[in-house]
Amino acid sequence: MDSSLKTTDSLSEEIHVDAHQIDASHQSPSVMSPDISLMVLTWITFFSLLAILYKFAWKPILEALEKREQTIRQSLDDADAAQKKLAELNASTEKIISEARQQSQGIIEESRKSAMELSKVIQKKAKEEADILLTNVRKELSADVETARHALRKESVEIAVHLATKIIQENMDSSKNRKIIEEQLKIF
């Protein structure tokens, strides 16, 4: 058994050494000495994959990118248009505000003029009414003064007649005395 064990061990060593030698003769290609068949197979695989991607993926990707580019351009154009429209609206708003300010200033100025004119009319009317009232008061006062003068004259005449009658009772009658006194008062 010992001898069969040795033979197996020596045989396995020989196989191991022979496999090592075979591996050394069939070493994998290095960067310095590439395997041509592997390189050709890699290039064929690469170009096949490239053709498949071009047919099935490249066109949809390009179309999607183009659609995205168009969407972005359209969005930028829309944003520019909206910005222009906003600028126009701002200008229009400023114009409307300016016109409203001018109109309000005009209305205020017109209101001031109307108020001044109305004030003048009211003052003129009040002055006219005051003048009319003053004239009426003067007329009434004149009439009252005349009435008072007339009453005073009449009373004075009566008092004078009464006094004169008492004084001259014997030589004249009262109607003659009254006539004389009235004539004398008319002279004054």
- Give the Cα separation of 125 and 175 in Å (integer): 55
Tens of each residue's pLDDT in the chain, 188 residues: 455 545 556 555 655 554 444 444 455 556 677 789 998 999 999 999 988 888 888 888 888 999 999 999 999 999 999 999 999 999 999 999 999 999 999 999 998 999 899 999 999 999 898 889 888 888 888 888 888 888 877 877 777 776 666 666 545 566 776 777 777 777 65
Q: Could you tell me if 160 and 179 are in contact, meaning their C-beta atoms sit under 8 angstroms apart?
A: no
Phi, psi at residue 5, to the nearest 5°? -70, -40
Three-state SS string over the chain comes to CHHHHHHHHHHHHHHHHHHHHHHHHCCCCCCCCCCHHHHHHHHHHHHHHHHHHHHHHHHHHHHHHHHHHHHHHHHHHHHHHHHHHHHHHHHHHHHHHHHHHHHHHHHHHHHHHHHHHHHHHHHHHHHHHHHHHHHHHHHHHHHHHHHHHHHHHHHHHHHHHHHHHHHCCCCCCHHHHHHHHHHHHHHC
**Tokens in use for 165?**
């009658």
Q: Which of 116, 95, 91, 88 is nearest to 103 (CA)?
A: 95
- Give the Cα separation of 164 and 172 in Å (integer): 9
- Give the Cα separation of 90 and 25 in Å (integer): 86
Residue 167: what pLDDT? 61
- Give the Cα separation of 12 and 5 in Å (integer): 11
What pTM was estimated for this model as a whole? 0.38
